[in-house]
A and B are shown apart, each in its own frame.
Chain A
Amino acid sequence: MSGRPSLWWIDWRLSRGSLVLETIGRFLYLCLLGFGLLSLSLSGGASRFLAERYAITAVLRAEVPPAEAEGLARKVAALSPVRSATYRDPEAAWKEFLRAYPGLDPLRGAGGNPMPGYIEIRIRPERLSGADIDLVVAALRSVSRVEQVLAGEEWLPRLLRAARFATWIGWGLLGVFLAGFFLFARLQERARAVALSGDFAFLADRGVPVGRLAVLRAAGAGVSGFLLAAAGTAAGGGALLLSLREFPFLERVIGPPSDILLPRTVAAAVLFSCGVALLSATSSLLGWRAARSGRK
């Protein structure tokens, strides 16, 4: 035997059965939270949905040659908030118009194609904000070849505000669920600390410092919380991946499956796991303290 008691995972050594059940419950809950976290992180709340549907249209003057228009589209695409900028020549614009309003062919007969060419600009979901849209619109308006910029500036601020609220609600719900995890974990930790109080008193009676016991239990809870959160997020990510493959229309709201492995998504998962570890350790300490104060 070594000189100092090995107190790592002491709850596991003393009470395996109940800890297994707790761990399974926490893992399932964290799978759900991981799924929610990744969905929110990828979708950016309502941003991806809006960005999928929103486009800025830069109507070009009639005399702009196609090559020059293509070059302009490339320059616009190079702007940082822009996801894509596609030039549509007058002929393509006319076809689109007819698809939208069938039966208006006679309009062309009078004086040729009345539709001008235009550039359709789509914004990156994470850059869909008033400031970034203003930046793109200002850049387009400064170009003499652009006759008109249609950016929906009358209704866009309201829409962006609504999207922001929706995003806050999404993250708020995740926060509520996380707080629920914390409260439930605290109750579990307290119940376990009460159940094992005889063992802890035994150890304290035999020279094991109570503070060290509490800190090592909290550290164990933190490490297991991190691993559980990481595993839960991975499982949640797997479920999300399957959902996106099974229901492709979800990609418009959440994003493509490949985005799950983007560095920022992984960073969010790691940050989430660290947060869960911190909450687990804190709940262990609070549960321990509550159990001890309850005994006095």
Chain B
Amino acid sequence: MIEGFRLGVFSRGATLWDGLDFAFGDAAAWFVAGPPSSGKTLLLSILRGERKPDAGDVVVSGESLYRGNAALARAWRASCGHVPEQTVAEPRLTVGDLFLRSALAGGGMRGGERKDRADRLLEMVGLRGASGWRTAELSLSERTRACLAAELLRGPKALFCDGVIAGAGIPWREMLWGLFRALAREGNTVVLAERTIPERWALSSGDAEPVGPFRVYRLPVPGTAEKGESG
């Protein structure tokens, strides 16, 4: 369980938001929708333990990320996957390099095993045989899916995706819908931050919990309790 208590952020000389409470339960896929410049990326970085909130605290499985043991916070970050909003690509990197550094972050993996798993994951996100492609030559959608696949290589307990649905594009929504629900069913926590939620997803998720400028949805996962916890 990832909980945010009375979270507040002060940015550019003003309060972006303050006093927000979140509760993202385990084995679930969560969707945080918010307008541009509402602080979605900031919220994800706070929940991952990367950026200390100006007010409030984040508690993961009962341990404070910012007021507790720094080693625990690092362990939490190591167990997280993060797909950032795709802006610029490093010209040097190939898709295979994304998997290599993801494997390094996960503690190393034999080359053969990494290649096998990378090939399977790339095939799953519609990028079969893309290992040798340069990321700078990929489209935004391809880059987003490649980064997502590379994060999944480590098998993260919690996956934070920033603008992945919009970045991947409409043709890949169904695949992502199935993927995130499958991850949740396996016990992982998925938190997605987007400007808008696809209409079909919103209909399936039921009512959203309004939290500050955000609307938090819990995506339905077959075989699990589907009651929203945020707010």
Contacts and interface: CB of A to CB of B under 8 A. Distances in A.
B154 interface: yes
A162 interface: no
A73 B107 CA distance: 72
A207 B72 CA distance: 10
Size category of the binding interface on chain A: 20 to 34
Nearest to A198: B90
Contacts of B93: 198
Nearest to A7: B104
Query: Which of A3, A198, A206 is most buried by chain B, counting CB atoms within 10 A of its CB?
Result: A206
Contacts of B100: 13-14
B90 A10 contact: no
Query: Which of B100, B103, B107 is most buried by chain A, counting CB atoms within 10 A of its CB?
Result: B107
A1 B107 contact: yes
A85 B220 CA distance: 100
12 contacts: A1-B103, A1-B154, A6-B104, A6-B107, A7-B104, A198-B93, A199-B101, A205-B50, A205-B77, A206-B80, A206-B82, A207-B77
Nearest to B45: A205
B101 A207 contact: no
A207 B108 contact: no
A203 B108 contact: no
Interface in A112-149: none
Contacts of A267: none
Interface residues of B, number: 23
A34 B101 CA distance: 37
Interface string B81-107: 010000000101100010011011111
Q: Which 5 A-B pairs have the closest CB atoms?
A: A207-B77, A207-B78, A6-B108, A206-B105, A2-B107
Contacts of B92: 195, 198
Contact of A5 (B80, B82, B106): B106
B76 interface: yes
B78 A206 contact: yes
Interface of B: 50, 74-80, 82, 90, 92-93, 97, 100-101, 103-109, 154
B71 to A, nearest CB: 9
B101 A205 contact: no
Contacts of A14: 97, 100-101, 104
Contact of A209 (B74, B103, B108): B74
Contacts of A13: 100, 104
A202 interface: yes
Contacts of A198: 90, 92-93
A203 B76 CA distance: 13
B74 A5 contact: no
A14 B101 CA distance: 7
B169 to A, nearest CB: 24
Contacts of B105: 5, 202-203, 206-208
A5 B107 CA distance: 3
Given A6-B104, A198-B90, 9 more contacts: A1-B109, A3-B107, A4-B107, A5-B104, A6-B107, A10-B104, A14-B100, A207-B74, A207-B76
Contacts of B101: 14, 199, 202-203
Interface string A52-86: 00000000000000000000000000000000000
Query: Which of B76, B92, B93, B154 is most buried by chain A, counting CB atoms within 10 A of its CB?
Result: B92
A186 B146 CA distance: 34
Interface string A1-42: 111111100100110000000000000000000000000000
Interface in A263-293: none
A92 B80 CA distance: 92
A177 B100 CA distance: 37
Contact of A207 (B75, B90, B97): B75
A40 B201 CA distance: 78
A288 to B, nearest CB: 17
A198 to B, nearest CB: 5
A5 to B, nearest CB: 5
A291 to B, nearest CB: 15
A104 to B, nearest CB: 83
Contacts of B50: 205
Nearest to B98: A202
A2 B107 CA distance: 5
B79 to A, nearest CB: 8
B134 to A, nearest CB: 14
Interface string A185-199: 000000000010011
Interface string A226-249: 000000000000000000000000
A203 B104 CA distance: 8
Query: Which of B101, B106, B109 is most buried by chain A, counting CB atoms within 10 A of its CB?
Result: B101
